[in-house]
Amino acid sequence: MTVSLYTMAVILGVATGFGTRIRLLQCDYRQYPTYPHGHVIHLALGFIAAALGAVAVPALAQKDYTAVTFLTLAAQQFRDVRNMERQMLSNLDEMELVPRGKNYIEGIAMVFEGRNYIVIFAAFLTSLSVMLYHYWWVGAITGVLTILLSGFLMSGKVIHDIADVEVAELRNEGPSLYVDDIYLMNIGLEDNRKRILENGIGIVITPRQASARITIGNVGQRQAILHDVSSILGVYRDTGEPALVPLAKRDLKDGRLGVLLLPQEKDVERAMAIVKNVPVLESAIRKPGKMPHELDKRWGNA
């Protein structure tokens, strides 16, 4: 009976963990992971993580504390996976006409490492529920709920949550290019000016609060916006044309962000929707509003 209970705990734990990894694995507009080989790698790692989480509870119940050591080794392996993802995406980024940027790459690598820990926790929780209540159906219910709840961990904030996005006019004042009243760059050739006005889309992103102003001012966050639009709508440029490049510049007075997009497919409404749904990078999030309160508290206690 005991062996059967342990076996059922491991089976349900592995199934839940693997199901969680499948739910967390998706190929979207960012095109990563792309080909079946990429899916196989991440699913295989997810199965290993699920097995580690599921086996940990029966092992600890048998007072086999070496299971903790295996979990520690797994954490190191998943950290190496993060480094592997970072290196691979950085190498691929060199071939992009509009690169992702280091911040975006670091965010993707962090997500793939973190999701393996979520798989371990899901498998551990399911296995633990079977061991505690001695019924397989309790573990099955826990597993289903865990897989469903894991979907909430796939989403985070997007640009529309922290800022207002509006279409703005692109205009030239001599060689100077502006979006609304925000200066972007100097363009020397008349032909390039005409092509930018014909094919470009101007967008102004207005932050709603101080923390959002710092977030959208982050260079990595700006690059993520340009890359996402270029990935979906294409980009009207080629190598060796430095003037034809998507660009984002800040208004130093109020922190607004002026964006020049050069999509291959000039669809203003779709470009707006893409910008609004660009994920806010974790590395770009700042909360300066909390600083004065904390400092006042420390100074008051001094």
Q: Are residues 91 and 171 in the same domain?
A: no
Residue 300 domain flag: no
Look at residue 289 in the predicted model and tell me its pLDDT. Answer: 58
The pLDDT value recorded for residue 253 is: 87
Q: Which residues, at least 6 apart from 104, have a Cβ–Cβ distance to it below 8 Å? A: 220, 223, 224, 227, 281
Using an 8 Å Cβ cutoff, are 253 and 152 in contact?
A: no
Q: Are residues 41 and 113 in the same domain?
A: yes
pLDDT in tens, 13-30: 999 999 998 888 765 545
Contact assessment for residue 248 and residue 260, using Cβ atoms and an 8 Å cutoff: yes
CA 122 – CA 91 distance, rounded (Å): 33
Same domain? 122 vs 32: yes
Determine, yes or no, domain membership for 293: no
Name the stretches of the chain with pLDDT < 50. 1-2, 29, 31, 295-296, 298-302
Q: What's the whole-model pTM score?
A: 0.80
Q: Is the peptide bond before 99 cis (omega within 30 degrees of 0)?
A: no
Tell me which residue range forms the domain holding 23.
2-154
In a domain, 294, yes or no: no
Q: Is the same domain home to 122 and 218? A: no
